[in-house]
Structure 1
Amino acid sequence: MNNNHTLIIGGGIVGATLALKLAQNKMPVTLIDARSARDELAWQDVLSKRDARVYALSVASINLLSDVGVWQKIVASKRKADYSQMQVWQFNGMGELLFGESIHEKNRKNAAPEILGSMVEPTVIDHALWQRMSEETVSEYLTVIAGQKVVNMDWLSAGRGYRVTLDDGTAIEAALLVGADGRSSFVRQQAGIGLDTLDYNQTAICCAIQTEKPHQATARQAMLPTGTLALLPLADITDSDKANPQHWQSIVWTLPRNQALALLEEEDDVIANKLAAATNYELGAIQQIESIASFPLTAQQAKSYVADNLVLIGDAAHGVHPLAGQGLNLGMLDVQVLNEQLTHDFARSGNKLWGSNQTLRHYERSRRPHNSLMMHSFSALNWLFAGSLAQMRPVQQLRNEGMYRVGKIKPLMRLFAKQASGV
């Protein structure tokens, strides 16, 4: 390999997107994915089932996926649900925030509304990435090793970078090592990078639901005393869905941990009824519920994003509360900034320096403060609406007045919508 070889550990959406971006720039890159490879038949079997989880892709993330030739495949699959409006309200409180254009505004203007983003199931994005990585235009520069785990990392020198050993004994050397291997990042641990963590003592219940009323391309979020409850549009995948569109949604319901675990012991119809009541029947009764799962909620931030010849991106570097659905979008911004910094500094050095410490520090200075601000902002919002302190009357009054007044300031609402889109 030549001296600008990059090794990415972690074949999820963030790692695979960076790999494609580098390969498109004709930079040799190897991607290690611990998951076993699937053929097209296996992919179709996975895609035949509705995934209760969904990613709220911002316009900036969509633009990046389009740039690497992946979004076009997602569009062709018809497994996306664009949303042009976001509704945020609080239970038993004043004020409602509406971002973007409603279906009525669209009809009045006789034009399609500008989208705020698109909801896409993780497996749909993974499949599109896999398809793109197999194409000849990138495969010349991209090597994908699937079904292998990294068992050892040795830093050789600033000039040589890392030697990484896989569980089958294969050794790979790279000038730059990228950790894109998630919240429990092996790369971060092996590099000796510490982690700041915050446990919310909350658990999120996620599932797919079919509602009585259509979602009308609107993402909804109720701010409840127990935590946030998000209703996110899902793509219609069956003939029955398409005959009666916009009735399936992904749910992320945040609850105190003990309350969530108790609810998960109930029958599906009991969970559905309690969920409908929690939404104040915003979309009527819940007619079907599928794929109920849960996960504990924590926030975390790596104490450093970089070390000699090593950089962290995505969840390996940071993890935020899901109340605003921005976790993946922050990781995609990492990809955009890191790629730009790498290619800019490489060209400026006369195509000699790849992934220098100066380059990596520039990336860290750009991304870590922004991600920290987002993490603490989401934590503050969670504190403002959920828990015993949030139910004190002075806090309630502050919240009510704030939401009411913000909702009346149209330029501010447009600014929030622009921030949500990531552009």
Structure 2
Amino acid sequence: MKLSLTGLAGMKIRAVDGCQELGHPEMLSTPLFYLAQPGDILRLMDSEYKFNVATYAAEVKDCWIYTYDYAPDESWTVYRQDLSGNSYKQDDYMFTECVYFRVCLRKMNGTAFEGSEELNRILSFEKNAASPPEMKPWIRNEVERVAKHVMDVREKNELSFALLTDTHYTVNGTWDDTSASIQQLHKEVGFDGIIHLGDFTDGMTTREVSRYYVEQVLGDLKKCKIPVWATLGNHDTNYFRDNPDLFSLKEQCELYLGRDEPRYSIDFGAHKLRFIFLDSFDPDETMRYGYNAACIQWLDKQLENTPDDWRIVIFSHLAPISRLQYWAKEIRGEIELMGLLNNHAGKILAFINGHNHADLLDNEEGFPIISMVNSKCEAFTEYKPEAFITPGRKLGELSQEAFDIMLVNTEKRQIRFARFGAGKNKEVTHGRAEWL
């Protein structure tokens, strides 16, 4: 079968490190990585062109997991140094082992690409038919364990949700396992929805590549055929590491939320429950982290208009208070926000956030604040606020994964969290969060 390739005119693949670089009109390259198996073939179909292939081993450096570091081009692979100006070809390229690859094309006459060239009419990627991958035994065992626990403790009329954050989609990363786990758990448990607390990617690639990765993550979650709700993370702006190819706020709302506004609420009338989703980052502001006046005014109306006998769960990428942050010594709108939240603390079951890449239960305010560890397999202990817990993580075993199944019982003013993978279960009851 033939697999469609995506090309970008003006981009090269650097021979020295295998990374992409814009500003080369004489080249057209694939910004995405593709996985090839032995016997797959790249075949040139237009003799006016020549092509070059860069391959990348499916190897993961420890630094990507155990230190505060981000892989170039958002790829957990190792470039095999097989690209050079002398390795362009016109004959078939057959893969002899399992590798990731990218392709760079030139015209034989050396002229610039116009941008209208269709890569798949120039080069064909022909793959052998492959069987669907089987679920890994350790994933299957964890699905069975968590599903049994949830079904044993779940009470009648309780709502259940998959809750995850900071997936930071990475080539050769762990997303496929996370997605498979959530989909299988939904078959066993039956979620009422899925909640993602932001940072879908690292935000270091072009807009087109980031959009592709985000759509892949959301598309996998939507295979469950239940609602998917999200908050906007700081990396979702596509600004990280001085990336100039930013998403506007409007584009973020359309891509991640499927909405026109960055904040919204979801009601479960039969349960007298309201979910509130907030936005908490603006790269154009001097104080980038926090909650602007429009957000706080909107939240004020939401809280005020929620009946006294209803309960509220608030979701945000960022915690509401600076003492629970490492990267931000001040949070925009913190005083106004905390005053507002504490005034309505009786309605708020919990404030739940991601961002810190660690777990924390905080009971120092009038309502519990719960920070969620990252779903991406990553466990660095530096740059964490005091008292935050960073569970140990390791590829290829149970601790690789980390997300929660959240059970909400408004009658009991209770939320129970069953952890899938690394970390512990927890519970919120009558205004206090505790580890189980």
TM bin, normalised by shorter chain, reads under 0.3
Decide which structure has greater helix share.
1
Calculate the TM-score normalised by the size of structure 1: 0.24
Q: TM-score w.r.t. structure 2 length?
A: 0.24
Structure possessing the higher relative contact order (Cα contacts under 8 Å, 6 or more residues apart): 1
Select the structure of larger CA radius of gyration: 2
